[in-house]
Amino acid sequence: MYLPDFDYYAPDSVAEACSLLAEHGPKAKILAGGTDLLHKMKHGELAPEVVVSLNNLNALKEIRYEQGRGLIIGARATQNDLATSPVIQEKYRSISEAAHHMANNQIRHIGTVGGNIVNAVPSADLPPILMALGALIQLVGPTGKRTMLLEEFFLGVHQTRIQGDEILTEIIIPEQGFTGSTYIRFGLRRSGALAVASTAVSVTMDGEICRGLRIALGAAAPVPMRARAAEAVLLNRKITDELLEEAGVQAAQESRPRNSIRGSEEYRRDLIRVLTRRALKKAITEGHV
């Protein structure tokens, strides 16, 4: 349970960080809160020779609302920053709630949203709600920056589109006129348990008609996934309880959960049905919760 030896850098600018990453290539790893990285290093799953800490990049901790651009969350914001940010609570309380219900308080104090995304595990709690809200992410590399939809970022377990010399700097949620959003996770105890299944939704309601929605599932496939068939069930339809159940069934069908010691495939699939229906109902009737 000891860390292997490595060189440690704590650059003062994103540019410097990128050039360090470029210089050391695959031998280097970015360190944010370290709640995933250090665990893997202690268990011998990763042995980077160089660790580049983002700890001095305080600009990446910022959370703000920019007229025209939307809600901007710095990648180094911790889960507790998300949970307690007045800006997020006002705009999308659903993100604060999602952050507040993950992990445990100690982890929420140091684990960052950037780490939660780039780590790319199926059970991560923040990608589904951010995807449901149509989040974009900004990646900065030595030659410039690029922006992409978060839902296009994931390729597989621990696999993403990020390049070795790129840093995830911010998450942007453009203004889109949603009327409600929420995230429901199902864990095997009330705190400190990874999600066995989770569903995030956003909806744009026009009276009883659903004019727009996104459903994003966690722990339902190797990557956080959109449940597009389930979305199609509801789009431009008058919402009834039967229809919500149908969307749940559809989401369960299109999901691809796995068997693990935390839950069988069959169980997870049924949880996805229930969580999807409940999340939709909640976002439709209660707004951003």
Ligand X SMILES: Cc1cc2nc3c(=O)[nH]c(=O)nc-3n(C[C@H](O)[C@H](O)[C@H](O)COP(=O)(O)OP(=O)(O)OC[C@H]3O[C@@H](n4cnc5c(N)ncnc54)[C@H](O)[C@@H]3O)c2cc1C
Task: Summarize as ranges the residues that interact with ligand X (CB under 6 A).
Answer: 29-37, 39, 54, 75, 102-103, 107, 111-112, 114-116, 118-119, 124-125, 162, 167-168, 192, 194
Q: Which is nearer to another protein, 204 or 264 (CB)?
A: 264
- Of 73-81, 89-97, 182-190, 224-232: span binding another protein (CB under 8 A): 182-190
Q: Which is nearer to ligand X, 112 or 182 (CB)?
A: 112
Q: Which is nearer to ligand X, 60 or 272 (CB)?
A: 60
When CB distances are held under 5 to 8 angstroms depending on the partner's kind, the choice from another protein, ligand X, none that residue 115 binds is ligand X
Q: How far apart are CA 11 and CA 224, in angstroms?
A: 31
Among 45, 47, 62, 104, binds another protein (CB under 8 A): 104
CB of 277 to ligand X, least distance (A): 23
Which residue, chain included where needed, has tokens 């109902």?
A: 281
* Residue 188 in the binding site for another protein (CB under 8 A): yes
Q: Encoding tokens for residue 264?
A: 């069988």
Q: How far apart are CA 116 and CA 247, in angstroms?
A: 28
CB of 156 to another protein, least distance (A): 23
Task: Using only the alpha carbons of the chain, give its radius of gyration.
Answer: 19
Q: Encoding tokens for residue 24?
A: 């050391």
Tell how strand 209-218 and strand 70-74 pair up.
Answer: unpaired
Among 82, 151, 186, 210, binds another protein (CB under 8 A): 186
Single out the residue of 73, 148, 86, 141 nearest to residue 113, CA to CA.
73
* Residue 47 in the binding site for another protein (CB under 8 A): no
When CB distances are held under 5 to 8 angstroms depending on the partner's kind, the choice from ligand X, another protein, none that residue 186 binds is another protein
Provide the mask over 245-274, with x wherever binding to another protein is found by CB under 8 A and - wherever it is not: ----------------xxxx--x--xx--x
- Of 7-15, 152-160, 161-169, 189-197: span binding another protein (CB under 8 A): 189-197
**82 sits in which H/E element:** helix 79-84
The residues near 30 (Cβ < 8 Å, ≥ 6 apart) are 17, 21, 37, 51, 52, 53, 54, 118, 167
Q: Which is nearer to ligand X, 22 or 107 (CB)?
A: 107
* Residue 192 in the binding site for another protein (CB under 8 A): yes
Query: Across 44-143, where does the E strand assignment appear?
Result: 50-53, 63-66, 70-74, 136-141
Half-sphere exposure of 200 (CA within 13 A, CB side): 31
Q: How far apart are CA 41 and CA 197, in angstroms?
A: 27
SS3 195: strand
When CB distances are held under 5 to 8 angstroms depending on the partner's kind, the choice from another protein, ligand X, none that residue 43 binds is none
CB of 49 to another protein, least distance (A): 18
Q: Which amino acid, residue 280?
A: L
Q: How far apart are CA 180 and CA 182, in angstroms?
A: 7
Q: Which is nearer to ligand X, 116 or 202 (CB)?
A: 116
Chain positions contacting another protein, by CB under 8 A = 1-2, 104, 186, 188-194, 261-264, 267, 270-271, 274
